[in-house]
Structure 1
Amino acid sequence: MIAYLQHLSYWDWLALGTLLLILEVFGAGGYLLWIGIAAASVGVLTYLFPALPWALQFVLFGLLSVLTAVFWWQRQRAGSKVSAQPGLNQRGSELIGRTFVLHEAIIGGRGKIRAGDSLWLVIGADLPVGSEVRVTGQDGVLLKVEPL
């Protein structure tokens, strides 16, 4: 084994990089991509400097793997900024605080309101059709209402 390690060529590093990139295709979330790039980089360095000792090759691979992983981690954190539109893709949250007329009576704690061109299920105190209600919250697809 030690004889193999002492004679690592750039093909070995490029093969490792290719294997890691293939594994990345199966859904590693970006981490094997950067480690594969580090292995390919060591392969290029080994091609340019064929007398590079095997121990230094592994040290370079470790350092480049850590540096690229840190780069990826920082890039991921920078991409997760707070949205300027916090209610985006949260259908129903824009209805909180608005008032509506009951489309179907609330019986047994459930009824319906019409908001725009949609009917929404509501939960709250029993009320007859035509009562005005205010949306106070949301529980999944159910809107919580209270009488005005």
Structure 2
Amino acid sequence: MVIELWNSFGPWSWWIVGLVLLALELVVPGFFLIWIGAAAVVLGALSLALWGSSFWGWHVQLLLFATLSVVFALAGRRIYNGSGTKTDEPWLNRRGESLVGRTATLAEPILEGRGRIKLDDTTWTVMGPDMPAGTRVKVTASSGRDLTVEQA
């Protein structure tokens, strides 16, 4: 029954599916259905040209729809990722990374690879070779809440 309904709309069935998915993106925002809807619209454009062809069966259309949906979703993610945007505050919400290169004095000794330093108003857990408290260290890397240090 579904296949009969699908065939009754002909190549316009992909256009209908695409427009429904694009409208659903407005109702259920998540910035995901837009790419699947775009894939359906592109497939609708292809269907207008290829609908009468013998190889343009439902299985080819579904395979192409799945492929286009994944490709469009990955492309959309890459485009709207924001990785290429310039900002006037590159360390915003990346405080640990902003400390790389700074020097400080060990507040607590590094024993068994872990110790603590105080930078600005925060005490940070540090990792590095064992050193006594009061040693000047330089921050070389940041991993989450932990900083890696070496003797300055």
1:107 equivalenced with 2:108 (yes/no) = no
The answer (yes or no) to whether the contact 1:23–1:32 under 8 Å persists in 2 is no
Instruction: State the secondary structure of the residue aligned to 1:92.
Output: helix
- How does 1:1-148 map onto structure 2 within 5 Å? 8=9, 16-17=17-18, 19-21=20-22, 25=28, 29=32, 30-35=34-39, 38=41, 56=48, 73=75, 77=79, 80-85=82-87, 86-148=90-152
Task: Provide the C-alpha distance between the structure 2 equivalents of 1:75 and 1:102, rounded to a whole number of angstroms.
Answer: 42
Q: Any gaps of 5 or more consecutive residues in structure 1?
A: 43-54
The answer (yes or no) to whether the contact 2:114–2:125 under 8 Å persists in 1 is yes
How many residues are treated as equivalent by the alignment?
127
Query: How high is the TM-score relative to the length of structure 2?
Result: 0.55
The answer (yes or no) to whether the contact 2:19–2:37 under 8 Å persists in 1 is no
Whichever residue aligns with residue 77 of structure 1, its letter is I
Larger Rg: 1
Task: Provide the C-alpha distance between the structure 2 equivalents of 1:114 and 1:20, rounded to a whole number of angstroms.
Answer: 53
Whichever residue aligns with residue 21 of structure 2, its letter is L
Deviation, 1:12, is 6.5
Query: How high is the TM-score relative to the length of structure 1?
Result: 0.56
The answer (yes or no) to whether the contact 2:18–2:36 under 8 Å persists in 1 is no
Instruction: State the secondary structure of the residue aligned to 1:137.
Output: strand
Whichever residue aligns with residue 17 of structure 2, its letter is L
